[in-house]
Chain A
Amino acid sequence: MSKPCFVYVTYIAAEPEKVWQALTSKDISARYWFGYNVNSDWKPDAPFALKNSEGKTTDEGVILECDPPRRLSYSWHPQYEEFRNERPSRVTFVIEPLPGQVRLTVTHEDFDEGSKVFESISDGWPMVLSSLKSWLETGAALPPSWTKTHKQVIAAAEARA
Chain B
Amino acid sequence: MTDLAQFKPVTVYVTYIASTPEKVWQALTDPAFSQQYFFGFAVAVEPKTGGRFALLYPDGRTHVRGKVVDWSPPHRFACTWIVEGMPGFAELPECIVTYDIDRAGDAVRLTMTESHSWDIPETILAGGRAGWPAILSNLKSVLETGQPMAIAMEPPPGFMEAVQKAIAEKPWSRGRGG
Contact = CB atoms under 8 A, between A and B. Distances in A.
A140 interface: yes
Interface residues of B, number: 24
B16 A12 contact: no
Contact of B138 (A11, A130, A138): A11
A13 B37 CA distance: 13
B140 A144 contact: no
Contacts of B138: 11
A5 interface: no
Contacts of B17: 130
Interface string A125-146: 0110011011001101011111
B140 A133 contact: yes
Given A127-B16, A131-B16, A142 B107 contact: yes
B158 to A, nearest CB: 18
A52 to B, nearest CB: 18
B137 A133 contact: yes
Interface string B99-126: 0000011110100000000000000000
Given A11-B134, A11-B137, A145 B105 contact: yes
Contacts of B151: 11, 98, 101
Contacts of A100: 149-150
Prevailing SS type, chain B contact patch? mixed
Contacts of A120: none
Contacts of B171: none
A9 B147 CA distance: 19
Nearest to B109: A145
26 contacts: A9-B137, A10-B137, A11-B151, A12-B137, A13-B147, A98-B152, A99-B150, A100-B149, A101-B151, A126-B14, A126-B15, A126-B16, A127-B16, A130-B140, A133-B137, A133-B141, A134-B144, A137-B145, A138-B18, A138-B144, A142-B16, A142-B18, A142-B107, A143-B107, A145-B104, A145-B106
Interface in B70-105: 104-105
Given A11-B137, A130-B16, A134-B18, 20 more contacts: A9-B137, A11-B138, A13-B147, A98-B151, A126-B14, A126-B16, A127-B104, A130-B15, A130-B140, A131-B16, A133-B140, A133-B141, A138-B145, A140-B18, A142-B18, A142-B107, A144-B105, A145-B107, A146-B104, A147-B109
Nearest to A137: B145
Nearest to B133: A9
Contacts of B149: 11, 13, 100-101
B37 to A, nearest CB: 11
A140 B141 CA distance: 13
